[in-house]
Amino acid sequence: MSLLTAQLLRGLTGLTRRLPVQRAQIHSKPPREELGTMDVAVGLTSCFLCFLLPSGWVLSHLESYKKRE
């Protein structure tokens, strides 16, 4: 490695040591209302129907998608 390359690399690593690390200021509070059993059931069911059902359909019919007709 040439002297110039070593100096450039040393200069770049020195820059990263001086940069401040920004941290997110996240504060959470207790919920205003507790979620009921029905709210949780509706949320989980909608997630299942929207995400898992279509992907399951595609995976179960993968062989028919591979065939060229």
Q: What is the pTM of this model?
A: 0.46
**pLDDT tens-digit series, residues 4-56:** 787 777 776 665 566 677 777 887 888 888 999 999 999 999 999 999 999 99
Q: Which residue has the higher pLDDT, 59 or 26?
A: 59
Check whether 3 has a pLDDT greater than 70.
yes
Q: How far is CA 31 from CA 5, 28, 34, 35, in A?
A: 55, 9, 6, 9
Q: Does 14 or 60 have the greater pLDDT score?
A: 60
Q: What are phi and psi of 32, to 5 degrees?
A: -70, -40
Instruction: For residue 67, name the pLDDT band (cuts at 50, 70, 90).
Output: confident
Q: Which domains does the chain have, with CATH numbers?
A: 35-68 (4.10.81)
